[in-house]
Structure 1
Amino acid sequence: MVDGAQTLELFRFADAVQSVAVEVSCGAPLVRGEERYYPAEVVLQSGFVNGRVGLQVSLEDLDEWERCLDALEAEEGAEWPAGGRSAWLDVVPDDPVEVTVHDSPSTQIAVRVPIDVAPGWLEENRLRLERVRAAVSASS
């Protein structure tokens, strides 16, 4: 992540054994045309595999993640971020929740992680989203 920038979790799916999270660097954005992008990483930890893959998160991606949380609350699957420009996640709200991390278009590797999430995981992830939104708004 970028030195000196505040790094916050946008979301986290975790149990006692494994987790998948996205960490966003909430410092100065990379500006491309009208869009602002913030450096981020998908962080996967388990007894089998540990890894990080980079991506860029825009304000539109934050809105899209909120829609994904709504879909997960309705017990529908979600894919994030849209557009195929970087690594992405597929989340299926089964029991356990299945999170698949896709490193596309780079290595074409995908890792599926079943996670026994704790009660309240949706609310916690909504709070994480709001903290990231507030931090990137303060840095713009």
Structure 2
Amino acid sequence: MTDNSAAGRTELMRLADATQSISIQLRSTTPSHHSAGTLYYDADVVVTSDFVSGSVYLGFDSQDLVHLGQLLVLLQESDEEFDPDDPFMADWPSEGRTAYLRLIGEDPFVVEVHDGTGSQVVVAMCLDLHEDWLTEARQRLEEARAALGVPQP
């Protein structure tokens, strides 16, 4: 079982190596609002390294959780068939509503944090992820879904 909390907050995702990390921490397990059967949640992307540290608001909805699960499956498949000339790349959540992550399955793994709707700042971090990071990411997602009361798709 993962330690799915940071400073008392549930982590939806944590990508880290020995010296730096990017995590998505839920502000609350209660939806901030809902519309037409879709639940909306508030979180923060927290970046920590020796060079730069900070956080930015990230909003997502219940469908974004489904998309994140699908991305983790695709990342597993791309990791098994890594092509350095055509690395995996995906945004989560979709660009345009709030800050978002761009996941780039290179060696090393690259995560960009885009604050496209606010400061327009992009922070890119190369992470030397350990072997079981995808298993832990899927487990964190399931634990966060349970805490949010969002069922498996």
Relative to the length of structure 1, the TM-score reads 0.88
Matched, 1:42 2:54: no
Q: Report how far residue 49 of structure 1 moved.
A: 0.4
Q: String of CA shifts for 1:13-34, please: whole Å, max 9, x gaps.
A: 1011111111113432122422
Counterpart-to-counterpart distance in 2, 1:42 and 1:29? 17
1:1-140 matches, within 5 Å, as 7-34=9-36, 35-75=38-78, 76-137=88-149
Q: For the aligned residues, what is the CA RMSD?
A: 1.5
Percent identity of equivalent pairs:
38
Counterpart-to-counterpart distance in 2, 1:64 and 1:137? 17
Counterpart-to-counterpart distance in 2, 1:17 and 1:95? 17
Q: String of CA shifts for 1:55-78, please: whole Å, max 9, x gaps.
A: 122111111111111221122222
Of stretches 71-80 and 125-134 in structure 1, the one that deviates more from structure 2 is 71-80
| Paired positions, count | 133
Unmatched 5+ residue regions in structure 2? 1-7, 79-87
Q: String of CA shifts for 1:60-104, please: whole Å, max 9, x gaps.
A: 111111111122112222210015100001111111100000001
Query: In 1, are the aligned partners of 2:59 and 2:99 still within 8 Å (CA)?
Result: no
Unmatched 5+ residue regions in structure 1? 1-5
Q: Secondary structure at the match of 1:21?
A: strand
Q: String of CA shifts for 1:36-63, please: whole Å, max 9, x gaps.
A: 2121000101111001001122111111
Query: In 2, are the aligned partners of 1:25 and 1:39 still within 8 Å (CA)?
Result: yes
Counterpart position of 1:3? none
Relative to the length of structure 2, the TM-score reads 0.81
